[in-house]
Amino acid sequence: MTLPNYRVDGKVALVTGTGSGLGKAIALALAESGADVGLTELPDRLEAARETAREVERLGRRALAIPLDVLRLPMIEEAVGAALGHFGRIDILVNNAGLNVPKLAVDVTEADWDRVVDVDLKGVFFASQAVAKGAMIPQGGGKIVNIASIMGAVGYTHRAAYCASKAGVVNLTRVLAIEWARYRINVNAVGPTFVETPLTRPMFQDREFREDVMRRIPLGRLGTPEDVAAAAVYLASPAADLVTGHNLIVDGGWTAI
Ligand SMILES: NC(=O)c1ccc[n+]([C@@H]2O[C@H](COP(=O)([O-])OP(=O)(O)OC[C@H]3O[C@@H](n4cnc5c(N)ncnc54)[C@H](O)[C@@H]3O)[C@@H](O)[C@H]2O)c1
């Protein structure tokens, strides 16, 4: 039997939000698995993506740091153009950029709501559309991996806009999977439990919060960037060629309860 493998040799990946946390780990995991990587980051944090790019190059792959604020839609087209100009193609898109403004629902302002939904949901849609139209449809295929969250599957306090956005990403993933199957574009999501990153580190200073989260995870630990990167590489690899429209939950059993 010849099993498809989990490598992405010779592929070009574009990963959003790569200066820290999960995006950085996913970019390095894709590079370790054989891909060249375009690494987007907010313009004022671009140096962090350049550092990730140097790490990708130390792994023997090509890398390009690209400025991108997904709140500015024309910048998405420019970022895709920059990646195409440099690498000539995009085989894998990982929509990782995201944020949360943790507040009780009664305190959420319109600006808070718009910021979270625009980055976490609208950004995912328009980055996917730009890469599909600009690269994957003309090329004849590709793999899109959306970093959703366990918060797309369960509710949790202080996360009205975040949970709504991530649940939106999960269902958007299904729609794009259906529409773009004819172009041989697989679209999947990853749903991680809490991982300690710059996004969540301040929250975990709160002992009560940490204990509440740990109580919900049967396997008894938080996620690591590597847990999430492994799922993203799998979905980007030939091993997942028949997987599309799926949300791969990486949550230590939280949603199994
Ligand atoms: N850390 C967790 O516990 C956890 C759990 C589940 C899902 N996630 C998701 O994983 C993804 C990465 O989060 P992280 O924990 O690594 O946090 P992080 O803050 O380290 O990374 C977020 C990245 O997104 C970028 N970003 C923020 N706003 C942007 C914008 N407007 N345009 C472009 N890029 C922007 C940031 O600069 C950063 O590189 C997010 O989508 C997050 O929702 C995180």
Atom 32 of ligand 1, nearest CA residue: 69
25 Cα nearest atom in ligand 1? 16
149 Cβ below 6 A of ligand 1: yes
pLDDT tens for the 257 residues of the chain, in order: 888 899 999 999 999 999 999 999 999 999 999 999 999 999 999 999 999 999 999 999 999 999 999 999 999 999 999 999 999 999 999 999 999 999 999 999 999 999 999 999 999 999 999 999 999 999 999 999 999 999 999 999 999 999 999 999 999 999 999 999 999 999 999 999 999 888 888 889 999 999 999 999 999 999 999 999 999 999 999 999 999 999 999 999 999 98
Three-state SS at 192: strand
Say how many Å lie between the first and final Cα of the chain, rounded.
36
Can you say whether the dihedral through the CA atoms of 153, 159, 160, 166 is positive or negative? negative
Catalytic (active-site) positions: 162
Domains of the chain and CATH, by start: 12-249 (3.40.50.720)
Q: What is the pLDDT, as a whole number, of residue 199? A: 82
Cβ–ligand 1 distance for 17 under 6 Å, the answer: yes
Which residue lies with its CA nearest to atom 19 of ligand 1? 199
Separation of CA 50 and ligand 1 centre (Å)? 17
Nearest CA to ligand 1 atom 7: 149
